[in-house]
Chains A and B, each alone.
Chain A
């Protein structure tokens, strides 16, 4: 198992180089380790039945009436939030390589960790908040069974349409944007934090709909893995064709719809 884990870390640290990015440094290793930890958490939290199944309290009316209370009492709400956080940790760090490199290289040596940390707080905080809200909404709207699959189908089709909009392309371009920041002082701290949050918002706008569809899927783990692959491709391919992602999502949506209503 240790050998397998080591091999997985090695392969993931080589990913940026395989993607033609840069040679792996210590930063890449940390990013790979964080991502693998997130995936391990997801696997550990998954008890089958999909995210909705994991997070849902008993009975559709009960959920509507007191999802928060029920979740807190049963611990499912906590599991839901934990799963959202695990999902963010698993999927987003590899998308931040260029941004973190920018923040580190544009900082004084003694401020690098602080600048990168603040940037990550802004970025992961944005994503974690959105993912937690998504989970809670899905907990209510996508119960296990046909209706949940129907919701997943609708989300996949909506994500497919989103892929084709100019807003999606604009959001993807914004994910690549870097924000120059002052070299020192509170202004530098605030700018790093704000930059992380701004990129987080752009990232949510880029991948959020796909993530929501994956989370609502009856098989969230493989769906999240596919969404992760799509996000990596869109981020690092020289000229990604977002229409290809739209097609894949449309096909997925159609298959889910057939399952729900067929």
Chain B
């Protein structure tokens, strides 16, 4: 059901809590159908909204959607291909992006005779409390051929996604896109800082300027990596590229959940968003961010205006802001001290050891050795494994790839002849491929590839507790989620271990 506006605040509902073809979904589908017919240059059209995230002339998927009368607007340079990735603007920019999109859809729904209370639902694929057995499935409405009245379903008609299996659920035949528990793990909620130095993991991402994903040291936040990137790759098709992701109606439900996770993280004790003016009200090339509102009027936006979703220009709240229980258990294992300030420690993590350069990760399973430097007395990674606030970060630097790329799952010091399934405590995280292809192209800003940072403190502590940590050599084991496609190529510039 559509929850009525409360004191001017809309409520975004949990997708799997909705009834079959609930009005929230039905009106969303009708609005999508209406918006898809509009010309590309109309800011209230579905394709214009997707182009705000990314657009490249000549993209075959986008060209296939061109209609007579479509034009590239003169001001496309200021409004299109603006998505902020791999840095600390990821969350606030997408919050505003969703907010304006929601207002455009709501106006369309009202125009069609629908409810003015409508708000985007969120897809809580990490839900282990209420809908654990179905949370990672795609709702039947998004794969059904037709709407309840028998007309074609915009949610699925012509939408490009990965192949999937169907699974019977109480809400109908849902889509199984092979989204695994590791793809939706919320370790990110345990990270104490919104941002951090480039070689440390943080919740929201490293400090960047306007960032469409170009920098050699830029690093995404924990929430942007997992679950955000994983879901993009698992759904695949349009969702697997900056330029087409916004065309899939699931994109908006996925990002509503990412936005919700920001609120969940903020609600935890000791957590705070940055207070730096360069984040709150950024200036310089590329700023301020620009959007069109539901009336087609140009609006500028700064992160300072969206810190609180209820008092933001978009006035919404989420139905549920509870962190899943497994996050609490993870936080205890990591022994991460609660942040006392929004800013991270001033000293960046120190390099402890690194692999050779240009490591080929193309095979289904790859093991890479990192010798730990004995020249640095303070490195003593045994101290990481002992009690105290010391943290260790695995960096997979400058990852580039081509072809169809599969997510990698990563383990530390996995014994020879041992299946990863036998040692779940040695799992450190995933390396989803969303954005890797784009960031490998020289034309996209240097072809520096993507950096991944994983907090491995809990695994090192586990290795020490089980007598399998010597502190001289770390072995990083990569296993592909699915067998790599022949001809696909994946390379890491270097793999390194940092500590603080």
Tell me, yes or no, whether A183 is within 8 Å of chain B by CB: yes
Tell me, yes or no, whether B353 is within 8 Å of chain A by CB: yes
Tell me, yes or no, whether B321 is within 8 Å of chain A by CB: no
Tell me, yes or no, whether A181 is within 8 Å of chain B by CB: yes
A98-B216, A173-B443 known; A180+B283 contact, CB < 8 A: no
Tell me, yes or no, whether B464 is within 8 Å of chain A by CB: no
Decide if B357 touches A180 in the complex (CB within 8 Å): yes
Tell me the nearest residue of chain A to B215, going by C-beta.
A98
Q: CA A109 – CA B198 in complex, angstroms?
A: 15
Tell me the nearest residue of chain A to B81, going by C-beta.
A239
Q: Which residues of B contact A177 (CB under 8 A)?
A: 216, 442, 446-448
Looking at the assembled complex, report how far the CB atom of B146 sits from the nearest CB atom of chain A, in whole angstroms: 42
Q: CA A245 – CA B210 in complex, angstroms?
A: 21
Decide if A236 touches B496 in the complex (CB within 8 Å): no
Decide if A22 touches B77 in the complex (CB within 8 Å): no
Decide if B286 touches A108 in the complex (CB within 8 Å): no
Decide if B283 touches A18 in the complex (CB within 8 Å): yes
Partner of B285, one of A20, A99, A182: A20
Q: CA A110 – CA B351 in complex, angstroms?
A: 10
Interface residues of A in 180-237 (CB under 8 A from B): 180-184, 191, 233, 236-237
B-side binding surface: helix, strand, loop or mixed?
loop
Q: Which residues of B contact A20 (CB under 8 A)?
A: 209-210, 278, 282-287
Q: Which residues of B contact A102 (CB under 8 A)?
A: 216-217
Partner of B445, one of A99, A176, A182: A176
Looking at the assembled complex, report how far the CB atom of A227 sits from the nearest CB atom of chain B, in whole angstroms: 18
Interface residues of B in 201-238 (CB under 8 A from A): 207, 209-210, 212, 214-217
Tell me, yes or no, whether B376 is within 8 Å of chain A by CB: yes
A98-B215, A178-B398, A236-B209 known; A173+B285 contact, CB < 8 A: no
A20-B209, A173-B442, A176-B445 known; A108+B283 contact, CB < 8 A: no
Q: Which residues of B contact A183 (CB under 8 A)?
A: 351, 353-354, 373, 494, 496
Tell me the nearest residue of chain A to B352, going by C-beta.
A108
Q: Which residues of B contact A110 (CB under 8 A)?
A: 375-376
Decide if B442 touches A191 in the complex (CB within 8 Å): no
A105-B199, A107-B351, A182-B354 known; A238+B494 contact, CB < 8 A: no
Tell me the nearest residue of chain B to A181, going by C-beta.
B357
Number of residues of chain A lying within 8 A (CB) of chain B: 37
Decide if B217 touches A98 in the complex (CB within 8 Å): yes
Q: CA A22 – CA B209 in complex, angstroms?
A: 8
Decide if A108 touches B375 in the complex (CB within 8 Å): yes
Tell me, yes or no, whether B356 is within 8 Å of chain A by CB: yes
Tell me, yes or no, whether B43 is within 8 Å of chain A by CB: no
Partner of B209, one of A21, A176, A178: A21
Tell me, yes or no, whether B178 is within 8 Å of chain A by CB: no
Tell me, yes or no, whether A19 is within 8 Å of chain B by CB: yes
Tell me, yes or no, whether A17 is within 8 Å of chain B by CB: yes
Q: CA A19 – CA B285 in complex, angstroms?
A: 6
Tell me the nearest residue of chain A to B446, going by C-beta.
A176
Q: CA A21 – CA B214 in complex, angstroms?
A: 13
Interface residues of B in 253-306 (CB under 8 A from A): 276, 278, 282-287
